[in-house]
Structure 1
């Protein structure tokens, strides 16, 4: 089976943990022997997996995350080894598929810990129930059936109020069921979303639709779902003391670019600030703010920390960064980013 460069890049993480499918086990090594770029990235991923699997991985002894043997493999390993044996989704849906796999890998750790406080006033059960509610608007827009009773929230309710009310309704409903039933409903809805034509056909996913007050292409709503799923998986991992890796670099930068574009629209008349991200390709930077004024300041920030700020997991004055120039302009950008969190 022939395999091209982009396909190999999607498979490198699976290669690093020995999770390739039989046909891929023949073709991927051949490509790595010929492509220095992919070979170098593959070795970096293998080193990451080695560190995650080492004695400081932070997983409890006897973890069921990888079965009864409790062999100490990390969350990333488990997620990749559990990846669906189905046709790959289009690139725009791949970050959501990866985030779903990451949460599925973590779920066995929650057995016996469903009442553990996680975030806001939610415990672990409520957090998964919230994700069931959070994925629902896209699922319904793509023609899928609801997994919980329909919402009585009036259609003209402002989106933030409707969002919070629906989340509270679904959490209350799921508390009448077992955590296992909630997980089953969330997993079924996630699988259904990833099976839609829009998850596989970029042309169908290019049509715009407004969800959560954001008129975006369906493809980018899949990215929003990926972002939230990862953030709440990280919340669950922190509550349990289980390390959850950030999204793979390719997915992470996709989420960062979308986030910066949305924030840029909000800050279109603000004093401009130049953003640089650690780990970005040389020369890559973004300017957030008015196009008609000189840049007032510069911020250098880690992309994961930026996503955690946008997700409401860092306060604007606490997020690690390096700044030069007008601190007021910097504070305005960071506060605007944090204020956009609906998570």
Structure 2
């Protein structure tokens, strides 16, 4: 039959609906190799590519190869799953050398398994591993790279017990020496960003909260200028130099220093501040403590040098906490002995502060029955300070020259030591201070507001 005849026969079968034969498309098997009639024409014009079989219907979806068979359907064996690691086979000396790394959790999983398997059967290595693991527990904690803040004090005390200093620091200057050293340790690793971090100085003035914005460097400049008041009293150089302040008060001196700076204070202020603090401690030490009675003028009031040095220690600690808060860094309290001395200074200054407030009309007037003669008893408030550095003080209400008297006690106030210091620094409002109160409410209010009035820039 000719090609034309074959195609006519094909058309006839298709029209009659006879079943079509599919050769070479069953499953995934293609036409046999070498079958010329089974080759598919790319153009699809001649139709010879389908051999003797029928052509696919154009309206049917194209024939797509089936997905690749999964490895599970091939009948081949699957690889074995490794459930437990095989321990390394290492010599005894090698395993013993790995004990230090194992104690520090620095071994690989295979080495760890090998060491722990070995420890189950070797008593000497097990004992050594136990000692190393206990030694690791004595290492410094990873979350803190700072030394114990009390380490310096303990080392110095131990050294001084063995060999007393040839020129000892007076006890009333020890707190200033310690607090300036702690602040300097905080500053030593500061970068430029930390030195220019914003800090807000806070204090109370006329019963109103007051603040002044500056930087970390500005706070150190403030300490430099106010510490200069003690330096002047001792005959040392004035850090202001030729700069003239409106008044010889701490705030006026600080503002004058800030104004005279061509640029905002930066890290360069640390060196003169630290040098001045060393000079102060060295000078009072060489006097043998006899200079403690000298007078230091603060402009509006005066303090003997031994109290002025405690005042400077207190302000150094307070502003160190301001700086630490600005850079988000923890800062610890002073030692209990130094904290007690600072609180004692504040308690001794309260009668004078109360008298100034009364002259300015900010405190209740004195009571005629208990005027409190000079050196005699008068109305008193018992001030109880709890916690580290605490104690009890009887505060005379009617005269700075009066003596506190338990017989004339009209009220009792209890405060935490740190809360009292923050109130005296102007960081807590008198109305918000957490205090236990018993007795005359007016007298208690006068004492609390007098504590806040001790604060200044």
* CA–CA separation in structure 2 for the residues paired with 1:305 and 1:98: 21
TM-score, L = length of structure 2: 0.53
Q: 1:152 aligns with which of 230, 244, 258?
A: 244
- Can you list the C-alpha shifts for 1:28-81, whole angstroms capped at 9, x where unaligned? xxxxxxxxxxxxxxxxxxxxxxxxx867xxxxx7xxxxxxxx734355557887
Contact 1:209/1:217 (CA < 8 Å) preserved in 2?
yes
For residue 151 of structure 1, give the secondary structure of its aligned residue in structure 2.
coil
CA–CA separation in structure 2 for the residues paired with 1:220 and 1:245: 23
Give the equivalent residue in structure 2 for 1:182: 269
Q: How does 1:1-343 map to 2 (within 5 A)?
A: 71-75=145-149, 77=151, 87-111=167-191, 112-119=193-200, 120-153=212-245, 157=247, 159=248, 162-174=249-261, 176=263, 179-197=266-284, 200-267=287-354, 269=366, 272-279=380-387, 284-290=392-398, 294-343=408-457
Query: Could you list the runs of 5+ residues in structure 1 that have no partner in the other structure?
Result: 1-52, 56-60, 62-69
2:195 is paired with a residue of what secondary structure?
A: coil
Distance 2:341 2:254 in 1: 27
User: Does 1 or 2 have the higher relative contact order (CA < 8 Å, sep 6+)?
Assistant: 1
Relative to structure 1, the CA distance from residue 236 to residue 306 in structure 2 (aligned partners, 3 Å threshold; closer, same or farther) is same
Is this contact kept in 1: 2:385–2:416, CA < 8 A?
A: yes
Equivalent position SS for 1:113:
helix
Q: Which deviates more, 281-290 or 179-188?
A: 281-290
Tell me, what secondary structure is at the counterpart of 1:286? strand
Alignment partners' CA distance in 2, 1:88 and 1:179: 34
CA contact (8 A) 2:338 2:389 kept: no
More helix by share: 1
Conserved 8 A contact 2:380-2:409: yes
Which protein has the larger Cα radius of gyration, Structure 1 or Structure 2? 2
Task: Identify if the C-alpha distance between structure 1 residues 100 and 296 changes in structure 2 by more than 3 Å, giving closer, same or farther.
Answer: same
- 1:103 Cα offset (Å): 0.5
**Would the alpha carbon gap of residues 226 and 282 (structure 1) be closer, same or farther in structure 2, given more than 3 Å must change?**
closer
Are the counterparts in 1 of residues 225 and 253 from structure 2 also a CA contact under 8 Å?
yes
Post-superposition offset of 1:231: 0.9
* Matched-pair contact (CA < 8 Å) for 1:92–1:199: no
Identify the range of structure 1 (275-284 vs 121-130) with the bigger mean alpha-carbon deviation: 275-284
Note the C-alpha offset of 1:332.
1.4
Cα RMSD, aligned residues only: 3.2
Task: Report the CA distance between 1:240 and its aligned residue.
Answer: 1.9
Give a deviation string over 1:229-261, Cα, whole Å, max 9, x none: 111111111222222222211111111111111
- Give the count of matched residue pairs: 273
CA 297–280 in structure 1, closer or farther in 2 if over 3 Å, else same: farther
When residues 240 and 80 of structure 1 are mapped into structure 2, their CA distance, relative to the original with a 3 A threshold, is farther
* TM superposition shift of 1:304: 1.9
Distance 1:173 1:80 in 2: 42
In the other structure, the counterpart of 2:49 is: none
